[in-house]
Amino acid sequence: MTMPNERRNAVDRTRIFLLDLMDSKKTPRVPKEIRKEAYRCLRHYPGDYYMEKAAEQAPDIFGEWNSE
């Protein structure tokens, strides 16, 4: 069973992973199309503000933001 903090951490780690895919210094030799797709995925991806709102409005789904 996935706990709320694990769900929130997965969202955060995914955002970092996609950002790293876009950075050629962190991920050399990644094809340009993959970098473009990472950008498209991140375009409407929830940032910290929306994750905080989600934690406030649905704590049973994303847990308390500062609970760690």
Mean pLDDT per 10-residue interval, the chain, length 68 residues: 90 96 97 98 94 89 67
Task: Please tell me the total count of domains within the chain.
Answer: 1
pLDDT at 32: 97
Judge whether 8 lies within some domain: yes
pLDDT at residue 65, as a whole number: 60
Q: Whole-angstrom Cα distance, residue 18 to residue 35?
A: 8
Residue at 67 is within a domain:
no
33 Rama sector, left if φ>0, alpha if ψ -120 to 50, beta otherwise? alpha
| Chain centroid offset of residue 54 CA | 13
Q: State the residue range of the domain holding 37.
A: 4-55
Tallying the residues shown for the chain, one arrives at: 68
- Is residue 25 a part of any domain in this protein? yes
What local confidence, expressed as pLDDT, does residue 1 receive? 85
Query: Does residue 21 lie within any of the structural domains?
Result: yes
pLDDT at 67: 47
Cα–Cα distances in angstroms (integers) from residue 3 to residues 7, 8, 9, 33, in the given order:
6, 9, 10, 34
Please give the pLDDT value at position 66.
60
